[in-house]
Amino acid sequence: MYVAISGNIGSGKTTLTGLLVDKFGAKACYETEDNPYIGDFYEDMSRWAFNLQVYFLGSRIKQTMDILREEGDVIQDRTIYEDAHIFADNLHEMGLISSRDFATYMKIFNLSTGLIRQPDVLVYLKASVPTLVSQILKRGRSYEMNIDISYLDRLNRRYNDWIENKYTGNVLTVNVDEADFIMNPDVVDDIAARIVEMTSNK
């Protein structure tokens, strides 16, 4: 079983990944936090946006290829599809990645996604901007303290459009504003049960 957790910055992807790993006895594949460009990016987005996204893409390609070689259940924290369709595309639309650089990026992305399969279930953590801001402040990562609220809102709109109109795989949407999987174990049990139901019908 290959399950991926998707969602905006601060939606709780890493936390839910850990909870589901414990629930299923699965292997975790976490999003890399050692991107050497991330601090620079939040200070000067236009200068470092392309570098940031290419590094994330390379890391995600390697991680996803590793998943394909794994035996047993795997829970992945964010997918390669989000890197391209949400983050890189958004930065291009904002004028922070040039059209030439974006075309180069997408060529690499399209080549790599032709070699991998979609997750059996994509769990989408849908959260409002106030919820995202609250959770970002709680975890206290220094490089995230200056994230623009309008940037989070743009990403949210892209996520919703991607899930509703573009992504072709199985999606389980969790409303993070209402479902507190951190404080309520029953929510995790419900998510796990729905994942089992969706994968057993494949």
Query: What are the residue numbers of the active site?
Result: 77
Query: If residue 200 lies in a helix (H) or strand (E), which one and from where to where?
Result: helix 185-200
Structure tokens at 184: 């309520």
Taking alpha carbons only, the member of 104, 98, 123 closest to residue 16 is 123
Distance CA 166, CA 130 (A): 26
Name the one residue in this structure whose structure tokens are 């995202």.
132
Question: Cα–Cα–Cα angle for 113, 115, 119, nearest 5°?
Answer: 65
Distance CA 13, CA 33 (A): 13
Residue 45 CB partners (closer than 8 Å, separation 6+)? 91, 94, 96
Please classify residue 40 by burial: count the beta carbons closer than 10 Å to its beta carbon, then call 0-12 exposed, 13-18 middle and 19+ buried: middle
Please classify residue 76 by burial: count the beta carbons closer than 10 Å to its beta carbon, then call 0-12 exposed, 13-18 middle and 19+ buried: buried
